[in-house]
Amino acid sequence: MRAAIAVEGIVKRYGSRVALAGVTVDVGPGEIVGLLGPNGAGKSTLLSILATVLVADAGTATVAGHRLPAQARAARHVLGLVPQQTAVYPTLTAAENLRFFARMQGLDGTAAAAAARRALALIGLEARADEPVWRFSGGMRRRLNLACGVLHEPRVLLLDEPTVGVDPQSRERIFAAVEALARAGAAILYSTHDMEEAQRLAGRIVLLDRGHIAAAGTGAELVAAARLTPRLHLRTTRALRGDWLANVSGARALDGTGSEALVEITETAGVAGVLRAAADAGGDVLELVLHRPSLADVFFALTGHGLRDDESPAAAAR
């Protein structure tokens, strides 16, 4: 199957700072690919290149078979962009916004009106279609923002953190809409900070860090590839002695202070052995928490816990 989005060896620099250092990604029709990464990882830059707003310094990018930037104009007919900002006109109504963007997508008046109605239905804003956007809640604006990007039923959809700051109901509605679009055959590249969101929506996840792809695959593949182990957090009636895990294979004490202990286990089957060892050590277990490795753990494992405040394009521009 030919990829609707194909990026290979893309490089983009802002002055001396490298935002993308040879990134390769592809997204097939009907596929949702999550784009994860800390601030400054290059997610928005990659989306901007694919949206034909920026031009890469090196590498190739094609959207629905249209090579960028040479065929950017043709690509724009088939791609939809949902920017991180709620890119709508606050003083226009929802319907006016939709009709305008539909016309700018090349639809004629009738088709634009029909597309606006469809989009309103998709995001559940039919009843508020004629209200000015400035009266909308953050969630409604986010939904409208999504609707403006999918008016023309794009074959390629680029979403840049489309659920920032929205209420759970709106988030669910956005998820449903994105999934519906994917089912309809759109190739979707979904940029987010939210691991849960990425795991929920994306068939594949691409983890970007400092312009490089740190990892790529399904959520499980990423977790597995990271070789992370489950951890147990124990709280006992009294402090356990230092060698209480000596006879338990596949378990290793990571930390222990007083009556609390953090234990790494190679597999969840080892939990029973840990409990027995604690009891043998004279500590009745008051509380036990099993923490399985998650995408977030993979994220932090790959990108670290250090802040990235100085690595965004805006910071680079300063």
Of 3, 27, 61, 81, the residue at the interface with other proteins (CB under 8 A) is 81
229 sits near other proteins (criterion: CB under 8 A): no
Q: Does residue 212 come out as left (phi exceeding 0), alpha (psi in the -120 to 50 range) or beta? A: beta
What are the tokens at 79? 């791609």
Distance, in Å, from the CA atom of 105 to the CA atom of 112, rounded to the nearest integer, reads 9
Write the burial class of residue 272 (CB in 10 Å: 0-12 exposed, 13-18 middle, 19+ buried): exposed
139: Cβ contacts below 8 Å, ≥ 6 apart: 166, 167, 169, 170, 171
| Segment interacting with other proteins (CB under 8 A) among 85-93, 188-196, 225-233, 301-309 | 85-93
3-state secondary structure at position 317 = helix
By CB under 8 A, tell whether 148 contacts other proteins.
yes
Least separation in angstroms between CB 122 and other proteins: 17
Retrieve residue 21's tokens.
């250092």
Among 62, 101, 181, 281, binds other proteins (CB under 8 A): 101
Beta bridge partners of 216: 206
Per CB under 8 A, the segment of 99-107, 177-185, 227-235, 288-296 that binds other proteins is 99-107
Q: Which is nearer to other proteins, 106 or 258 (CB)?
A: 106
Q: What three-state secondary structure class fits 87?
A: coil
164 part of the interface to other proteins, by CB under 8 A:
no
Question: Judged by CB under 8 A, which stretch of 3-11, 35-43, 70-78, 238-246 contacts other proteins?
Answer: 70-78
Residue span 42-61 as binding mask against other proteins, x where in contact by CB under 8 A, dash where not: ------x--xxx--------
Give contact residues for other proteins (rule: CB under 8 A).
48, 51-53, 73, 76-77, 79, 81, 83-90, 101, 104-106, 148-149, 314, 317
